[in-house]
Structure 1
Amino acid sequence: MDKPVHHFSELFEQLGLANDTASIERFIERNSPLPEEMPLADAACWNEGQAEFLREAVDEDADWAEVVDHLDVSMHKNN
Structure 2
Amino acid sequence: MEKSFHRFSELFAQLGLRTDEAGIGAFLKTHSPLPTDMLLADAPFWTPAQATLLREELLDDADWAEVIDRLNAALRAPRGRS
User: What TM-score, normalized by structure 2, do the two folds share?
Assistant: 0.92
**Aligned counterparts of 1:28 and 1:67: Cα–Cα separation in 2:** 14
Name the structure 1 match of 2:35.
Answer: 35
Deviant stretches of 4+, over 4 Å: none
Question: Which runs of 5 or more residues in structure 1 are unaligned?
Answer: none
**Aligned counterparts of 2:67 and 2:26: Cα–Cα separation in 1:** 18
Post-superposition Cα deviations, 1:30-53, rounded to whole Å, max 9, x if no partner, equal: 011010010110111100000010
The two structures, once aligned, show a CA RMSD in angstroms of 0.7
**Aligned counterparts of 1:68 and 1:47: Cα–Cα separation in 2:** 16
Question: Which runs of 5 or more residues in structure 2 are unaligned?
Answer: none
Would you say how many aligned residue pairs link Structure 1 and Structure 2? 79
User: What TM-score, normalized by structure 1, do the two folds share?
Assistant: 0.96
